Structure 1
Amino acid sequence: MSTNHNITSANVQSEMAGLGRVVILGAGESGVGAAMLAQKQGFDVFVSDFGTIADKYKKALEDLGIVYESAQHTEELILNASEVIKSPGIPPTAPIIKKLVEKGISVISEIEFAKRYTHAKTVCITGSNGKSTTSLLTYHILKNAGLNVGLAGNIGHSFAAQVATESFDWYVLEISSFMLDDMFEFKADIAVLLNITPDHLDRYEYKIENYAASKMRIIQNQTENDVFIYCADDEETLNALRNVHPEARTYPFSIVKTVDQGAFLDENTIHILIETNNELTMSISDLALQGKHNIYNSMASGIVAKVLELRNDSIRESMGNFKNIEHRLEHVAKISGIDFINDSKATNVNSTWYALESMTSDVVLIMGGVDKGNDYNMLKDLVKQKVKAIVCLGKDNKRIHDAFEDDVEVIVNTFSAEEATQIAYHLAKRGDAVLLSPACASFDLFKNYEDRGNQFKAAVREL
């Protein structure tokens, strides 16, 4: 199906339909899902992607007879929209977005659009770190307890596609700050904010307060009938909460202090208390997810489960048998007594801090990529304690050298996953760990963090 043929068809369809025209910018998972739902609801649909559309998404659009273009944005076919649904990855500074805003055309996220067409309730999880793990754990707990639940958002299949084709009572949605920026009337029934640490500051004028304000949109439109769960140990979250006043019932979680309602840690036991429900207690040694950061993630999921009045034994079982996601502290192999760990999903400094914090052996750290305004200072103490060598994997590694040249004896530059893995293997000795935890985005050398992680795993298996 050629682009020219598509555009001609778009004009014909627009004239014939007489309905609202929905234009979708970006033809990835969320964009194609939004197109499916918009078509089902009777809109005239046009999909435009400034980049290349993956074959599987082209086929999905063609099978549905949805008109699309790739490698361009044809303005006359976009600026006549009733409403535009944009990919989270398109910044508000993109020229086409500026023109849409100037014309007063509504620009929203796929999540906002999909919520209009479902009565399902939502558990919405955001945070700079841990949101994928917590979303998957929460989904695992709810599904095992027998709830009719879907998983969507920044993870799994498109929310809009599931609204178009499924009939769930609940959704667990992983929500990024980019999604929140394009959500206006959307309301989370249960909102979870795990933490706020510097990330994506290039999208927020390099101001943490702008990024924090974006994260706090998770509680917009909530009422006293809704629930807000947050980390009482997170400084930026507490700062942000001084500027807003949640209407929802709030449940904090903490590992350093006791709370009346919510979750806290007493020695090695998690306590979760929600109003009159019977208290849930669980030893942290019984959690499937280990490490301090995962205590927080487990607490957040546990509060959701208790709010929904799930049985304690069911919650404990699910929190004890959960399997974590690919590319997040994923053990790849042990070769010559050296552990190889894939944490490619660590695309910011805080994620890498969590990874290093959980290491119990000396580390050869593979890091680098597209630097998003990173401040590496928070890593310095852990790097001094645990890291014997840094293998840089990226096109421009100057800032990593500058940050750690006084803390680590060996810092090496590499330009492929295979080269980085081989050098790290030679720098490590029996009992060490080789940890891929980049602290940076992957787009300089890889398609995405999954591609980076998969290439690393393939290189490990070739050793």
Structure 2
Amino acid sequence: MSNKHQDMNPLEQNTTSFNTKRLVVLGAGESGVGAAILAQKHGFDVFVSDFGAIADHYKAELTAFNIPFEENQHTEDLILNATEVVKSPGIPDKAPIIKKLLEKNIPILSEIEFAGRYTKAKTICITGSNGKTTTTLLTYHILKKAGLNVGLAGNIGKSFAKQVAQENFDYYVLEISSFMLDNMYQFKADIAILLNITPDHLDRYNYEMRNYVNSKFRIAQNQTQEDHFIYCADDPETEAVIADFAIKAQIHPFSIKKEVANGAFASGQTITFNLNHSDKLTMSFSDLALQGSHNVYNSMASGIAAKILDLRNATIRESMGDFKNIEHRLEHVAKISGITFINDSKATNVNSTWYALESVNTDVVLIMGGVDKGNDYSMIKDLVKQKVKAIVCLGKDNKAIHDAFEDDVEVIVNTFSAREAVEVAYHLAKKGSTVLLSPACASFDLFKNYEDRGNQFKAAVREL
């Protein structure tokens, strides 16, 4: 990608020569270890530092590559002498070590930015507050089924940097969070997809929505007229500001509310893909493996990317029909005594919970709660009034949920473990209803991550 980079970040003026430089990696998870392996391959003096404990399999990997590392601390003498730093997207700018790096004008990059220097592969980059994992996996599925030599990376799967170091893919489908985008400067997406923008992670953006919006639009930075920008024309936040960003790429909107040119739109129960210079493709909603209006949007975005790459209509149609969605996203767990249990643990913001409630057509006992990231629950109040008969809170501090819904729901119960939440929900639910775990919050108060929360939920359901 190096031949495509533009507009260097001012902090990166000292990075014109990359070899024999000291690269410090903060955070020894999948992305950090991958960045360290790639850096070592390209001759950097590499050091990895994690303020917490490093998982045994990552320690073994670093040891195998003779990459020095530390855990449970950040030794400043070993970090503040870096030429550049690749940081985990989970580390906020207010962390003391980040503040010190910024004071010393040491460039801080994302793993995506760093890895992008060392590959000429075409990139399809997907961001959005909701739906990006599903859309990323669907896009990857379509490309793979079409026979393309394609890798899957970013917020999902194996590290992008590690794959660049060890594989030789022609294409990468990358799920990219706003935290990754914040430390990307010269990287360019060949095809960029912006699914939607709803309030999320506002605690990382000084509770300013515009800061978060600006972060999401970085997906289109550095794009040229040869590139492609795919976006939802029905998303109010995107539509309100898109003109402000003077996007140079070819623009492809998608909508279920109106007919659009050079993109995709729905009429009745039919999607039409009508990109310039390609055969028109029509598909019925019923042909899609992913159901629900939010998944129509996800399918449109993936389909446009596939059409840009001139994949055959038959391949696109077949791929969209046989795709299987991911674990922890509206995952059917079991039906017990006529009660359906759905695991949507990946719903870590209110808008995701809105989608989940919108897709369920029965009465709901909703399990929600956790670490509130500045949530505005007003967007789901109408759906809660219509569908939710009881709320089971799963978290240490549930005051915001009680305050938001005490006038809308007869029963709100506090629980402090997945097993307790499932048992309470089971007793509150009636035959024909749905127990839905869709927390609208992060999981870190009671669980390691959303996967752990979802797995504990599923285990508890199976013990009923």
TM-score normalised according to structure 1 size: 0.96
2:32 matched residue in structure 1 = 31
Unaligned stretches of 5+ in structure 1? 1-17
Q: Secondary structure at the match of 1:243?
A: helix
Amino acid at match of 1:273: N
What do residues 63-121 of structure 1 show as CA deviations (whole Å, max 9, x unaligned)? 11110000100000000011100000011111111111111111100000001011101
Equivalent-residue separation in structure 2 for 1:27 and 1:156 (angstroms)? 15
Equivalent-residue separation in structure 1 for 2:312 and 2:451 (angstroms)? 35
Indicate conservation of the 8 Å contact 2:253/2:261, yes or no.
no
2:143 matched residue in structure 1 = 142
Indicate conservation of the 8 Å contact 2:351/2:440, yes or no.
yes
Q: Secondary structure at the match of 2:168?
A: coil
Amino acid at match of 1:140: H
Alignment of 1:42-441 (within 5 A): 42-441=43-442
Equivalent-residue separation in structure 1 for 2:125 and 2:298 (angstroms)? 14
How far off is 1:452 after superposition?
0.2
Equivalent-residue separation in structure 2 for 1:188 and 1:68 (angstroms)? 32
TM-score normalised according to structure 2 size: 0.96
1:3 matched residue in structure 2 = none
What do residues 113-157 of structure 1 show as CA deviations (whole Å, max 9, x unaligned)? 001011101000000000000000000000000110000000000
Equivalent-residue separation in structure 2 for 1:260 and 1:90 (angstroms)? 41
Amino acid at match of 2:415: T
Unaligned stretches of 5+ in structure 2? 1-18
How far off is 1:234 after superposition?
0.3
Equivalent-residue separation in structure 1 for 2:416 and 2:58 (angstroms)? 30
How far off is 1:276 after superposition?
2.1
How far off is 1:242 after superposition?
2.8
Equivalent-residue separation in structure 2 for 1:244 and 1:113 (angstroms)? 24
How far off is 1:349 after superposition?
0.2
Equivalent-residue separation in structure 1 for 2:280 and 2:299 (angstroms)? 15
How far off is 1:358 after superposition?
0.4
Indicate conservation of the 8 Å contact 1:216/1:240, yes or no.
no
Indicate conservation of the 8 Å contact 1:213/1:240, yes or no.
no
How far off is 1:240 after superposition?
2.4
C-alpha root-mean-square deviation of aligned residues, in Å?
0.7
Equivalent-residue separation in structure 1 for 2:435 and 2:232 (angstroms)? 31
2:451 matched residue in structure 1 = 450
What do residues 25-72 of structure 1 show as CA deviations (whole Å, max 9, x unaligned)? 000000000011011111111000001111111111111111000010
Q: Secondary structure at the match of 1:333?
A: strand
Equivalent-residue separation in structure 1 for 2:92 and 2:136 (angstroms)? 25
Amino acid at match of 1:263: A
Amino acid at match of 1:91: P
How far off is 1:429 after superposition?
1.2
Equivalent-residue separation in structure 1 for 2:224 and 2:57 (angstroms)? 40
How far off is 1:19 after superposition?
1.8
Q: Secondary structure at the match of 2:245?
A: coil
What do residues 203-223 of structure 1 show as CA deviations (whole Å, max 9, x unaligned)? 001011110000000000000
Indicate conservation of the 8 Å contact 2:339/2:434, yes or no.
yes
How far off is 1:252 after superposition?
0.1
What do residues 378-431 of structure 1 show as CA deviations (whole Å, max 9, x unaligned)? 111000000000000000000100100010000000000000001001111111
Q: Secondary structure at the match of 2:244?
A: coil
**240-249 or 409-418: which moved more?**
240-249
Q: Which runs of 4+ in 1 moved over 4 A?
A: none
Equivalent-residue separation in structure 1 for 2:130 and 2:257 (angstroms)? 19
Indicate conservation of the 8 Å contact 1:194/1:300, yes or no.
yes
Equivalent-residue separation in structure 1 for 2:139 and 2:109 (angstroms)? 26
Indicate conservation of the 8 Å contact 2:263/2:273, yes or no.
yes
1:9 matched residue in structure 2 = none
Equivalent-residue separation in structure 1 for 2:92 and 2:240 (angstroms)? 26
Q: Secondary structure at the match of 1:152?
A: strand
Equivalent-residue separation in structure 2 for 1:118 and 1:429 (angstroms)? 55
Q: Secondary structure at the match of 1:373?
A: coil
Q: Secondary structure at the match of 2:234?
A: coil
Indicate conservation of the 8 Å contact 2:365/2:388, yes or no.
yes
Amino acid at match of 1:454: N
